[in-house]
A and B are shown apart, each in its own frame.
Chain A
């Protein structure tokens, strides 16, 4: 029996295969109540599959989930009534006006949802009287986001809500997300825009190859970024062996140490890199470092350096 708390997303062992491809390995996840959680990962990593399963669009092969206390069962109607969803795919009915499209998207929602969606659309300066086929990619995305933000629910699941938006509109989106989160809404969003995720999320879930490879708070991620040391060396014949040996010897004294090309990537145990640098200076075969970076890793770099996968 899963914990079914208000405003929480609880996932236990959710799994899905498409033919021989494992889209999502057995996954456990707890999100909320409240706050914005970023679901990060490259294309095809399983983000959309997980989100679609959570609202009953894709049936899981195994596992269970609850969203805002409603269990994932049947066609997921119980969950869809309790949460709003913005799809990642942008396909709308071109023959409808923006206002009619909102009406379509908000069918089954509370009576005031349409008025709220229109006010959000106005924040984005969307011409709701115009037909959707005249909308740009970004405008369609904003319309979907306005519709997802309108229902009065405790949970929102947003699949790449900022994809295709210009920086100004992305700023409006971040502002709206913050306002919504401040009202206590639990938001699970996927994104490739790590900068924007960095600004709005309190928690990051990294997913790769259908597996959750990290799930940590923004503070913990920032602390890790501050402890990340990157030391580059001039390439030579025996550098690879020397770096491997150095990483192996450093490992007991640091959180992690790995080699990438001619670089040594070290996550320190504390905020002081001097001890590690002194050890590296004593190693034979490395030579003098050609570049050194410490405590300045962006979320994207951290993601790449710690997990060896690109975020986008």
Chain B
């Protein structure tokens, strides 16, 4: 556990640092962006992109920051972290042949699996929360002010999507012994989802519609999460976790 925790902790810290490195210049760039937003709209090659810029203009600093941090940062880096932290959890042990010594100890399989699941999930979700906490302080440097509430609700909403992707990777990991194949499969799937998002006719089929700027503006307006979105996302994660437990109970080294 120490070994796994060390590597998971290391990856979690790495994820936080990269997320923060993307966030800081993006937030500090807001005054220039808002000043030249018309030029950006003119440069946008796709109607969907122009739509995003329109939303940023009407939504102000909150729309811009959530767009930069959650829609861009977390949907790319976060998804990558969710995939990388999940696929090796069990398949990695099988791949390197250590699954036998992992399972042969006097610890129940349910406990072993739950520990792995929770450690990885925390490494994906905590950096999103922690980096979100730095946003109001960063905004103060450029004379903007946002409260923590809507930002943290947005972070929770983003984390629910990341957790669902993490849970899918984790479930596949309990079935497989080739983590690389699962990672490539899931990353291909997410790239496809981004591609769908950018095409106007099919954009509504994209998973990332769940975590785009419009959704965060709704959260801000509502002052909390919409059960229409958070319940299915949480349900998917829970179902995949239970499926992982069942698959792992039958797993042979």
Residue pair B105, A52 in contact (C-beta under 8 Å): no
Given A75-B249, A91-B96, A91-B98, are A57 and B2 also a contact pair (CB < 8 Å)?
Answer: no
Given A75-B108, A75-B249, A108-B106, 5 other A-B contacts at CB below 8 A?
A57-B104, A77-B107, A80-B104, A87-B100, A87-B101
Residue pair B97, A81 in contact (C-beta under 8 Å): no
Distance in Å: Cβ of A48 to nearest Cβ of chain B? 10
Distance in Å: Cβ of A193 to nearest Cβ of chain B? 21
Residue pair A100, B105 in contact (C-beta under 8 Å): no
Residue pair A95, B105 in contact (C-beta under 8 Å): no
**Cβ of A307 under 8 Å from chain B:** no
**Sampled A-B contacts (28; CB under 8 Å):** A52-B252, A52-B253, A57-B104, A57-B252, A57-B253, A58-B252, A58-B253, A59-B250, A75-B249, A77-B106, A77-B107, A77-B109, A80-B105, A80-B107, A89-B97, A89-B100, A89-B253, A91-B96, A91-B97, A91-B100, A95-B3, A100-B2, A104-B1, A104-B101, A105-B101, A107-B107, A108-B105, A108-B107
Distance in Å: Cβ of A9 to nearest Cβ of chain B? 16
Residue pair A85, B104 in contact (C-beta under 8 Å): yes
Residue pair B101, A92 in contact (C-beta under 8 Å): yes
Complex: A107 Cα to B98 Cα, angstroms: 15
**Cβ of A103 under 8 Å from chain B:** yes
Distance in Å: Cβ of B177 to nearest Cβ of chain A? 12
Residues of B within 8 A of A283 (CB): none
**Cβ of B103 under 8 Å from chain A:** yes
B84-113 residues with Cβ-Cβ distance < 8 A to A are 96-98, 100-101, 103-110
A148 (CB) vs chain B CBs: closest residue: B104
Residue pair A77, B253 in contact (C-beta under 8 Å): no
Contact of B3 among A75, A89, A91, A104 (CB under 8 A): A104
Residue pair A59, B108 in contact (C-beta under 8 Å): no
Residue pair B100, A105 in contact (C-beta under 8 Å): no
Complex: A59 Cα to B103 Cα, angstroms: 13
Residues of A within 8 A of B2 (CB): 100, 103-104
Distance in Å: Cβ of A263 to nearest Cβ of chain B? 42
Complex: A105 Cα to B106 Cα, angstroms: 10
Residue pair B101, A77 in contact (C-beta under 8 Å): no
Given A55-B104, A87-B104, A104-B2, are A75 and B98 also a contact pair (CB < 8 Å)?
Answer: no
A interface vs B, CB < 8 Å?
52, 55, 57-59, 74-75, 77, 80-81, 85, 87, 89, 91-93, 95-96, 100, 103-109, 144
**Size of B's binding interface in residues, CB under 8 A:** 20
Complex: A55 Cα to B253 Cα, angstroms: 12
The 9 closest A-B pairs by CB, nearest first: A91-B97, A108-B106, A80-B106, A81-B106, A75-B109, A87-B100, A108-B107, A77-B108, A91-B98
B25-78 residues with Cβ-Cβ distance < 8 A to A are none
Distance in Å: Cβ of B119 to nearest Cβ of chain A? 15
B103 (CB) vs chain A CBs: closest residue: A57
Given A75-B249, A91-B96, are A107 and B105 also a contact pair (CB < 8 Å)?
Answer: yes
Residues of A within 8 A of B103 (CB): 57
Residue pair B100, A57 in contact (C-beta under 8 Å): yes
A53 (CB) vs chain B CBs: closest residue: B252
Residues of A within 8 A of B108 (CB): 74-75, 77
Residues of B within 8 A of A106 (CB): 105
Distance in Å: Cβ of B164 to nearest Cβ of chain A? 27
Residues of A within 8 A of B107 (CB): 77, 80, 107-108
Distance in Å: Cβ of B1 to nearest Cβ of chain A? 7
Residues of B within 8 A of A92 (CB): 98, 101
Residue pair A93, B98 in contact (C-beta under 8 Å): yes
Complex: A311 Cα to B96 Cα, angstroms: 29
A90 (CB) vs chain B CBs: closest residue: B97
B7 (CB) vs chain A CBs: closest residue: A95
Residues of A within 8 A of B98 (CB): 91-93
B100 (CB) vs chain A CBs: closest residue: A87
Residues of B within 8 A of A89 (CB): 97, 100, 253
Distance in Å: Cβ of A160 to nearest Cβ of chain B? 13
Complex: A165 Cα to B106 Cα, angstroms: 27
Residues of A within 8 A of B96 (CB): 91
Residues of B within 8 A of A109 (CB): 105-106
Residue pair B252, A59 in contact (C-beta under 8 Å): yes
Complex: A41 Cα to B85 Cα, angstroms: 41
Instruction: Give B230-253 as 1s and 0s: 1 = Cβ < 8 Å from A's Cβ atoms.
Output: 000000000000000000011011
B178-206 residues with Cβ-Cβ distance < 8 A to A are none
Complex: A170 Cα to B100 Cα, angstroms: 23
Complex: A52 Cα to B3 Cα, angstroms: 25
Residues of B within 8 A of A77 (CB): 106-109
Complex: A80 Cα to B108 Cα, angstroms: 9
B253 (CB) vs chain A CBs: closest residue: A57
Complex: A86 Cα to B49 Cα, angstroms: 59
Residues of A within 8 A of B106 (CB): 77, 80-81, 108-109
Complex: A75 Cα to B248 Cα, angstroms: 10
B249 (CB) vs chain A CBs: closest residue: A75
Residue pair B105, A105 in contact (C-beta under 8 Å): yes
B109 (CB) vs chain A CBs: closest residue: A75
Complex: A89 Cα to B249 Cα, angstroms: 21
A105 (CB) vs chain B CBs: closest residue: B101
Residues of B within 8 A of A107 (CB): 1, 105, 107
